[in-house]
Structure 1
Amino acid sequence: MGRPRTALLDRERITATALDLLDAQGEFSVPQIARRLGVQTGSVYHHVDGRDGIVELVRERIAEAIDTAPLDAGPWDTALAGWARSYRAAFGAHPRAIPLLMANPVRAPRVLEQYERAVALLLDAGFATADVMVVITALENVVLGSALDLAAPQAMWEIADDTATPRLAEALGAVHGSRTDRAFDLALEGMLVAARRMLED
């Protein structure tokens, strides 16, 4: 038989399959990917640098949806906020991937390049070198926590008896609009206020 006109396996298909598995079950294995693609497990390893390599391919795929243009526009805090909103949206689309990605060091060159730009933004704004990664980590805590919250039920608190927790029931009844979006805006602004103070000290 001749070679198939379309390759049975490539990095693109491996990445897409791994992300599908993550979205569905919050985890993946190389044998699962192989079964989905109808190939031997060993064949997958011919295209990627092991499971860790697939994790980084998934990280790159999700990060492609992050708009980095804000990092080049406006004051540092406006730029950082714009990047954060896009970052949140990209990971909010794949919340089950977050725990896995957070447990693995970032190695993907295209993702590291985003961090390089964020670091340059903060250094150019006058932040001390020792403070830069603290600011970026704080931003990520807000972004990724909120991205996970996007996948949570709208009603996270179920009250069977209003009389047992009347103030909680009243507070929940007073929520208008998206609790998650408003909470993200509040947390992001609080983080930026603290960063501005850091810059002034």
Structure 2
Amino acid sequence: MGRPRKALLDRERIGATALELVDETGDFSVPEVARRLGVQTASVYHHVDGRAGVIELLRERVTDAIDSGTLAGVDWDVALENWARSYRAAFAAHPRTIPMLMTAPVRAPGVLAQYETVAGLLLAAGFAPPLVLPIVTGLDNIVLGSALDMSAPDTMWEVSEGTAVPRLAAAQAVTGAARADQAFDLTLAGFLGHCRELLRTGPAHAP
């Protein structure tokens, strides 16, 4: 019998299967990935460094949808805004990965390369090195928090009969389904505006 043209197992299939499980249930285990692929758990470990390795495959698959081209050829603030919007859309498609990926160190080379570009943009713009990671982390928090919010119900405040919150109820009634998008736009604009102010008022330094 000839050898199969395609390997039964590879990192791409492991990552895709783990992502399917997380999208369905919010979590995965290496034995579950193996069962869905029809292989032994030990076979998965031949391709990845345990659970942490699978998490990085998840990160790679989700972030592949981010348009890194948004970081090129424009001013730093425009680049960050465009990148943030693409970044948000990528994670909004897989919101259940967010808690897992936010609490695991980033090791995937392709993802690290995007952060390296962002760090370079900030340094070239004039931000001092101690401010680079706080800005990057702040942007992460805005993007990933908003991506998770996009999977929440349109009506987040359930006002039952007899509950005396008329101003909240009125505000919710006129906001509509665009609440998450409006909140993201507002928060991102405020964040970038503050960063611009740091540069305008003098040397950008860590507080």
Same fold (TM over 0.5): yes
- The superposition leaves residues 26-45 of structure 1 with CA deviations (integer Å, 9 ceiling, x where unpaired) of 11100000110111111111
CA 1:81–1:162: 2 relative to 1, 3 Å: farther
TM-score by length of structure 1 reads 0.95
CA 1:7–1:29: 2 relative to 1, 3 Å: same
- Structure 1 letter corresponding to 2:195: A
1:196 matched residue in structure 2: 196
2:128 matched residue in structure 1: 128
Give the Å deviation of 1:159: 1.3
1:167 matched residue in structure 2: 167
Once residues 70 and 33 of structure 1 are traced to their aligned partners in structure 2, the CA distance between those partners, rounded to angstroms, is 34
Give the Å deviation of 1:198: 1.7
Q: Does 1:158 align with 2:158?
A: yes
- Structure 2 letter corresponding to 1:59: R
1:179 matched residue in structure 2: 179
Q: How many residues align?
A: 201
Matches within 5 A, 1:46-125: 46-125=46-125
Once residues 198 and 24 of structure 1 are traced to their aligned partners in structure 2, the CA distance between those partners, rounded to angstroms, is 43
Once residues 96 and 115 of structure 1 are traced to their aligned partners in structure 2, the CA distance between those partners, rounded to angstroms, is 22
Give the Å deviation of 1:196: 1.1
Residues 76 and 121 of structure 1 are in contact (CA less than 8 Å); yes or no, is this contact kept in structure 2? yes
Secondary structure of the residue aligned to 2:155 is coil
- The superposition leaves residues 119-161 of structure 1 with CA deviations (integer Å, 9 ceiling, x where unpaired) of 0011111111111111111111100000000110111111122
Once residues 85 and 32 of structure 1 are traced to their aligned partners in structure 2, the CA distance between those partners, rounded to angstroms, is 33
Residues 154 and 177 of structure 2 are in contact (CA less than 8 Å); yes or no, is this contact kept in structure 1? no
- Structure 2 letter corresponding to 1:155: T
- Structure 2 letter corresponding to 1:121: L
Residues 60 and 111 of structure 2 are in contact (CA less than 8 Å); yes or no, is this contact kept in structure 1? yes
- Fraction of identical pairs, as percent: 61
Residues 56 and 106 of structure 1 are in contact (CA less than 8 Å); yes or no, is this contact kept in structure 2? yes
Task: Tell me which stretches of 4 or more aligned residues in structure 1 moved more than 2 Å.
Answer: 1-7
Once residues 6 and 71 of structure 1 are traced to their aligned partners in structure 2, the CA distance between those partners, rounded to angstroms, is 36
- Structure 2 letter corresponding to 1:174: V
Give the Å deviation of 1:84: 0.3
- Structure 1 letter corresponding to 2:131: D
- The superposition leaves residues 168-190 of structure 1 with CA deviations (integer Å, 9 ceiling, x where unpaired) of 11111111451100100000001
Q: Structure 1, unaligned stretches of length 5 or more?
A: none
Once residues 152 and 13 of structure 2 are traced to their aligned partners in structure 1, the CA distance between those partners, rounded to angstroms, is 29
Secondary structure of the residue aligned to 1:7 is coil
2:205 matched residue in structure 1: none
Shifted more, 151-160 versus 115-124: the winner is: 151-160
